Amino acid sequence: MAIIIRLDRLLAERKMKLNDLAEKVGISHVNLSNLKTGKVKAIRFSTLEAICKTLECQPGDILEYTPDD
């Protein structure tokens, strides 16, 4: 897919575990793991907002566009 989720990179930079993020954002660990591995097709603005608020980042830091070849 052309949109890549950079959640693992952000978590490493913030030295935060996926479980902690899941707890703070209020999303189940399984769903967040699916997001990290690119298994979800869409993300709500409210979810994106909660992640950005917790990780103190911009949506662009989480989502990255790479053209398909």
Partner 1 sequence: MSTTEIKRIKSKVKTNSKYVSLITWIVMIYFVFSVVMLIRAAFLPEEAFTATPGLIFWQITIPINAGFSFNINIPMEVLPNYEPERFQAKAAFITYHSIYLLTYTSVLLYGIRQLTYILWSITDGHTPFTINNSVRLRNIAFAAIGNALLAGHIATICISIFVTQIFSMNILNISFSGLIIGSLLLVISQIFRYGAYLQEQYDTTL
Among candidates 61, 45, 49, 65, which has minimal Cα distance to 4? 65
> Which lies closer to partner 1 via its Cβ, residue 47 or residue 54?
47
Q: How far is the CB of 27 from partner 1 (least distance, A)?
A: 7
d(CA 53, CA 41): 22
Q: Write the binding mask 22 to 41 for partner 1: x where contact by CB under 8 A, - elsewhere.
A: -----x---xx-xx---xxx
Q: Does 44 bind partner 1 (CB under 8 A)?
A: yes
Q: Does 17 bind partner 1 (CB under 8 A)?
A: no
Cβ(54)–Cβ(25) under 8 Å? yes
